[in-house]
Amino acid sequence: MMIALFARASHTRAGSSDPSSSAYSVASKMANRSRAAAVVLAISSLCAVLSSATVTVNEPLAAGLSWSFYDASCPSVEGIVRWHVTEALRRDVGIAAGLIRIFFHDCFPQGCDASLLLSGSSSEQSELPNQTLRPEALKLIDDIRAAVHSACGPKVSCADITTLATRDAVVASGGPFFEVPLGRRDGFAPASRDLVGTLPAPFSDVPTLIESFKNRSLDTADLVALSGAHTVGRGHCGSFSDRLPPNADDTIDPVFRQKLAAKCANDPKGTVTQVLDVRTPNAFDNKYYFDLIAKQGLFKSDQGLMNHPATKRMATRFSLNQAAFFDQFSRSMVKMSQMDVLTGNAGEIRLNCAARNSRVSGLDAAGDEGLAADA
């Protein structure tokens, strides 16, 4: 295909309907340059696609999930999700980090059931760890849900759309492509405050993080790899203020610490933010681990990975070998995506990701409408 494109461009340059016309010659040269530029752009785009890392994950599947769940009922779902995510990132690159955070904050407390997407006074979104979730990312998920349901009917859950959108955001940002099993149903209720409180905090030390992940059947490799998602995104000053003066912290680069302190010195509304990866903040790569080596990890929970014997070796390996990081990250994401999932009649397919569907039992608020999960 590329040879044919070059041949076509060469043929156009050779031919001329009026060689004696200087005006035509100039116009022809300009047109040929435009075509050549288009060829180069097409080839560059193709190469970028081909060079994107693909990781094959052969993990045992949770009951009810399948690698081909929507092949018959909604074969276009992955294409629809991918298009919307790509368009959203073209307008706002920060959407990628927003989706990754939503996915993790949904799955970790009580499983990947889209309970985090439910709105209301008693929702998970009102809890402290979730108050800075990106509204644009939450809206994107429901916009994708509307497009998918328009194409296929109410066949795909918000939980599956969140999973696919997060994977595609990783890929669109330069990260690995990995297949995800599908078939999740949406939960009927938000996670409790106690469960939301199990989310790892940015000021947690490594032993606390290891124990927290262990309680969710995630191991140390999962901890180190999933923390690498901080290669994109931003943190508010309040999330790393424990590392700034007057507190003492010799695990952070003094110059970096001074810059952060100056940046956060005038933050009365708590709106000042700092990129999590100072090297390539908008690219999903392994530079986050370089930051840790340079003592420029933003959170205590990040920097600790390079300082604790249980995690230092793997964090160092990921800094030297991006393919190893991508491989483990993909495996850990697929593993986490299957935690405590609801399938079959255990959940529903929401017609609005922010609201539970009405039920025959009449237990839901009046005015809701929707469809219970198919058997």
Same domain, 246 and 322: yes
Q: How far apart are CA 328 and CA 316, in angstroms?
A: 14
Above 80 in pLDDT, residue 100? yes
Above 70 in pLDDT, residue 355? yes
Catalytic residue chosen out of the listed positions 105, 149, 230, 236:
105
Nearest to 188 by CA among 364, 374, 368: 364
Q: Are 148 and 77 in contact (CB under 8 A)?
A: yes
pLDDT of residue 268: 86
Above 90 in pLDDT, residue 372? no
Same domain, 123 and 162: yes
Distances from the Cα of 184 to the Cαs of 127, 143, 344, in angstroms? 24, 19, 8
pLDDT of residue 110: 96
* Structural domain includes residue 92: yes
pLDDT of residue 336: 97
Above 60 in pLDDT, residue 28? no
pLDDT of residue 138: 98
Same domain, 265 and 152: no
pLDDT of residue 54: 85
CATH number at residue 301: 1.10.420.10
Same domain, 219 and 296: yes
253-266 pLDDT, tens per residue?
A: 999 999 999 999 98
Q: Which pairs count as long-range contacts for 319-326, CB under 8 Å and 24+ apart, including other chains?
A: 319/286, 319/289, 319/290, 319/292, 319/293, 321/286, 322/285, 322/286, 323/53, 325/225, 325/228, 325/286, 325/289, 326/53, 326/55, 326/175, 326/176
pLDDT of residue 32: 45
Above 50 in pLDDT, residue 29? no
58-84 pLDDT, tens per residue?
A: 778 999 999 999 999 999 999 999 999
For residue 94, how many other CB atoms are within 10 A of its CB? Answer: 19
CATH number at residue 81: 1.10.520.10
Nearest to 134 by CA among 105, 156, 108: 105
Above 70 in pLDDT, residue 327? yes
* Structural domain includes residue 63: no
* Structural domain includes residue 155: yes
Same domain, 227 and 322: yes
Least confident of 66-70, 126-130, 288-292, 362-366: 362-366
Distances from the Cα of 202 to the Cαs of 4, 194, 206, 264, in angstroms? 53, 18, 11, 17
| Average pLDDT rounded to a whole number, residues 15-32 | 42
Same domain, 350 and 251: no
Q: How far apart are CA 100 and CA 102, in angstroms?
A: 6
Nearest to 42 by CA among 86, 9, 10, 90: 9
Q: How far apart are CA 200 and CA 212, in angstroms?
A: 7
| Average pLDDT rounded to a whole number, residues 317-345 | 97
Same domain, 269 and 345: no
Tally of residues, the chain: 375
* Structural domain includes residue 84: yes
DSSP string, 173-199: TT--EE---B--BB-SSPPPHHHHTTS
DSSP string, 256-277: HHHHHHHHHTT-TTS--EEES-
* Structural domain includes residue 51: no
Same domain, 355 and 331: no
Q: Could you tell me what percent of the chain has a pLDDT over 90? A: 77
* Structural domain includes residue 19: no
Domain count, the chain: 2
Q: Are 184 and 113 in contact (CB under 8 A)?
A: yes
pLDDT tier at 174, thresholds 50, 70, 90: very high
Same domain, 328 and 343: no
Q: Are 288 and 245 in contact (CB under 8 A)?
A: no
11 is catalytic: no
Q: Helix or strand or coil: residue 247?
A: coil
Above 60 in pLDDT, residue 368? no
CA 105 from centre of chain: 12
Above 70 in pLDDT, residue 34? no
pLDDT of residue 14: 35
Distances from the Cα of 240 to the Cαs of 11, 34, 61, 129, 264, in angstroms? 61, 49, 37, 14, 10
* Structural domain includes residue 139: yes
Same domain, 166 and 150: yes
Give me 232's structure tokens: 């994109």
The mean of the pLDDT values for the chain is 86
pLDDT of residue 55: 79
Q: How far apart are CA 162 and CA 116, in angstroms?
A: 11
Q: How far apart are CA 295 and CA 303, in angstroms?
A: 7
* Structural domain includes residue 109: yes
pLDDT of residue 35: 43
Same domain, 111 and 134: yes
Domain that holds residue 240: 206-335
Give me 94's structure tokens: 């920060």
Above 90 in pLDDT, residue 293? yes
pLDDT of residue 23: 43
Same domain, 174 and 90: yes
Q: How far apart are CA 97 and CA 282, in angstroms?
A: 9
pLDDT tier at 52, thresholds 50, 70, 90: low
